Amino acid sequence: MKEAVLLSYMGAPSTLEEIKPFLYRLFSDRDLINFGVPSFLQKPLAYLIATFRAPKVKPQYEAIGGGSPLVRYSLEQGELLSKALGMPVFVAMLYSEPLMEKVSREILRKGFKRVYHLTLYPQYSIATAEACLRDGRKHLGNRVELGEVKSWARNPKYIDWIKKGIKKELKGSNPEETVILFSAHSLPKYVVEEKGDRYPEEVKATVEAVMEEFKGYPYRISYQSKVGPIEWLEPSTEEELRRIKEEGFKRVVVFPVSFVSEHIETLYELDVEYGELAKELGLDFKRVKLNHTDPLLIGALKEEVEKLRGRR
């Protein structure tokens, strides 16, 4: 039976022209963000928000080179995973090219009958990993034998990849003066409170596994990337940076815990916005760079696919 891997992510605008279409698709997804309006108003409201927000975020993408590298990096991860597994890997995005619908058609056209679907979200959430898995089911349906990885938040190689990055930035630091801050992408509060989403617990599980290596250091978990008027998970990364300063610490090492490659939230939001805030506060700010091609990370993805293959 012909086998393949489907590696999925939400996507990002790779060019300035892609910003508005990306935002429209993103805000149109009611499973991701429910604005509390009747369902028939979701897309019109999404269009308005995308129209209003696109010019606001355009300078951010200009500042990081004219677009996000996320799709390119995800495709590179797919190539490395394919080599590691010795089988085809298809990469699909929910809200930008290459779109899930098109990639799924290619998988079917090429005659693959067994597909292992793995998302690039280590921590499971209804709004992220499940959205990718949902669309995989929608477009591949009963036409293939579909295996899914819902969470790999505790994968040992993934944990070691995080530890490796943090160790590099902790060199020469004093545990009495330094805080390790794990900044995760936020979620609307209602997703957790009303739908019982386990994302905060998944993030906590990853962080606790990582901190086994750094027991002498204090740590915090914060959330970034709030969008729109609804309530989001707290505390925010900005709030935590201010609190760390108030508590008398001099240095902060930030790891973007829910991300596996660089994109707008790391290159601009963390490095520029929060980097400038830390400078204003007088904090020595170190942000762990995400090596998306590290053998540990690719090894984690490989292990998760191999687990699925072993269960069939």
Q: What pTM was estimated for this model as a whole?
A: 0.95
Residues 29 and 146 in one domain: yes
pLDDT at 310: 86
In the sheet that holds 114-119, the strands lie side by side as 89-93, 3-9, 114-119, 145-149
Residues 97 and 208 in one domain: no
Domain that residue 93 falls in: 3-152+296-311
CATH code for the domain of 34: 3.40.50.1400
pLDDT at 31: 77
Counting as low any pLDDT under 50, the low residues of the chain are none
**pLDDT, tens digit, 9 for 90 and up, residues 134-164:** 999 999 988 999 999 999 999 999 999 999 9
Contacts by 277-283 with C-beta closer than 8 Å and gap 24+? 277/238, 277/241, 278/241, 278/252, 281/241, 281/242, 281/245, 282/245, 282/250, 283/241, 283/244, 283/245, 283/249, 283/250, 283/251, 283/252
Residues 10 and 147 in one domain: yes
pLDDT at 1: 80
Q: How many domains does the chain have?
A: 2
Please provide the DSSP assignment of 53-91 as one string.
Answer: HHHHHHHHHHHTTSS-SHHHHHHHHHHHHHHHHTS-EEE
Residues 28 and 148 in one domain: yes
pLDDT at 126: 93
pLDDT at 33: 77
Residues 225 and 93 in one domain: no
Give kind and range of the element (H or E) at residue 149.
Answer: strand 145-149
Residues 167 and 147 in one domain: no
For residue 13, say if its preceding peptide bond is cis, omega within 30 degrees of 0.
Answer: no
